[in-house]
């Protein structure tokens, strides 16, 4: 492949990615990656960037394990060829990424702001209240910087706002109303900018469903879920990670609505899907939710609960 053809393929992959044609993107980027890997080596900057783009593509195709392996290969390459203090290495590490990029590039740099938002996501996953509060503050800081750099409705700003919504839901109380305002804005803007069937629009709708459930607005949550889930199943397939997340969210809604018979099939099949995909911890989590529902169905142990 010539450099000119590689550049053309890369440009085509961007167009396909914007329109969610991930299969086409994967084929193009796989060909593009082969050229710099052979000519420049796996540690070259261009090879690393194409590899990260390909990893993101596999994730969108539901191939999380392949995506992780590619990301790990880039991180290993950065650490081996560049050392732990190089900018590209820092982009692949959350805490070190933000500390390093902040020092090297300044607090208003795009990469530093994205690293800050990713750091907040990482800290928030520890699920301790002090960690959640720290994550909230970091997300708010990231939103201010990204909004100043890109504007209120830029994709990075919307992504950072959506991340803050998840933190607000966890913290609860009056923040549920703030979460509702934020996620409503994100959904509206993504529908306008990306279309109502775009993957990121559907993700925002799933998060909006969770917010509505937290507020006790179950009818509103059901309306959003009934709109988004069929689109995800049609566009991405029943076993795609995004569809699975949507089904889990809808199953949780049915529990809150006390529609336990509807919940059974949703959660049992979802747990099986996660198990078959090798996501054992996710399967166990879904089973725990299912058991909660089964316990409320009858005074005797439910047969599914025994299984």
Give CATH for domain 93-227.
1.25.40.10
Tens of pLDDT along 76-110?
Answer: 887 888 787 776 666 566 656 666 666 777 777 77
Specify the pLDDT at position 106. 76
Q: Domain extents for the chain?
A: 1-82, 93-227, 241-307
Q: Say what the alpha-carbon torsion angle 265, 258, 253, 134 is, to the nearest 10 degrees.
A: -120
pLDDT > 80? residue 205 = yes
Fold of 1-82: 1.25.40
d(CA 207, CA 71): 26
Mean pLDDT, residues 121-125: 77
Q: Say what the alpha-carbon torsion angle 230, 236, 239, 244 is, to the nearest 10 degrees.
A: -60
Specify the pLDDT at position 302. 37
Specify the pLDDT at position 194. 92
Answer yes or no: same fold for 1-82 and 93-227.
yes
Tens of pLDDT along 218-249?
Answer: 999 999 999 999 999 898 887 787 887 888 78
């Amino acid at each position: 492949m010539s450099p000119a053809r590689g550049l053309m393929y890369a440009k085509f992959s961007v167009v396909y990615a914007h329109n969610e044609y991930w299969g086409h993107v994967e084929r193009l980027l796989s060909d593009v990656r082969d050229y710099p890997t052979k000519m420049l080596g796996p540690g070259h900057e261009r090879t690393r960037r194409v590899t990260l783009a390909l990893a993101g593509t596999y994730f969108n195709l539901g191939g999380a394990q392949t995506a992780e392996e590619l990301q790990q290969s880039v991180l290993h390459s950065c650490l081996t060829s560049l050392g732990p203090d190089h900018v590209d290495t820092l982009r692949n590490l959350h805490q070190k990424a933000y500390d390093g990029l902040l020092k090297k590039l300044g607090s208003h740099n795009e990469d530093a702001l994205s690293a800050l938002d990713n750091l907040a996501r990482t800290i928030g996953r520890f699920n301790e209240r002090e960690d959640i509060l720290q994550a909230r503050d970091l997300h708010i800081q990231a939103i201010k910087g990204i909004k100043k750099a890109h504007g209120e409705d830029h994709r990075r700003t919307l992504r950072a706002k959506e991340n803050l919504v998840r933190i607000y839901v966890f913290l609860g109380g009056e923040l549920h109303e703030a979460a509702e305002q934020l996620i409503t804005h994100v959904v509206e803007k993504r529908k306008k900018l990306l279309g109502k069937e775009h993957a990121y629009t559907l993700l925002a709708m799933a998060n909006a469903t969770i917010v509505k459930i937290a507020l006790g607005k179950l009818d509103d949550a059901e309306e959003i879920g009934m709109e988004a889930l069929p689109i995800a199943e049609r566009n991405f397939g029943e076993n795609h990670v995004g569809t699975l997340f949507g089904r889990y969210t809808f199953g949780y809604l049915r529990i809150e609505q006390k529609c336990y018979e509807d919940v059974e099939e949703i959660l049992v099949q979802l747990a099986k899907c996660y198990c078959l995909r090798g996501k054992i911890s996710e399967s166990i989590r879904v089973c725990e939710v299912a058991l909660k529902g089964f316990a409320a169905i009858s005074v005797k142990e439910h047969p599914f609960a025994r299984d």
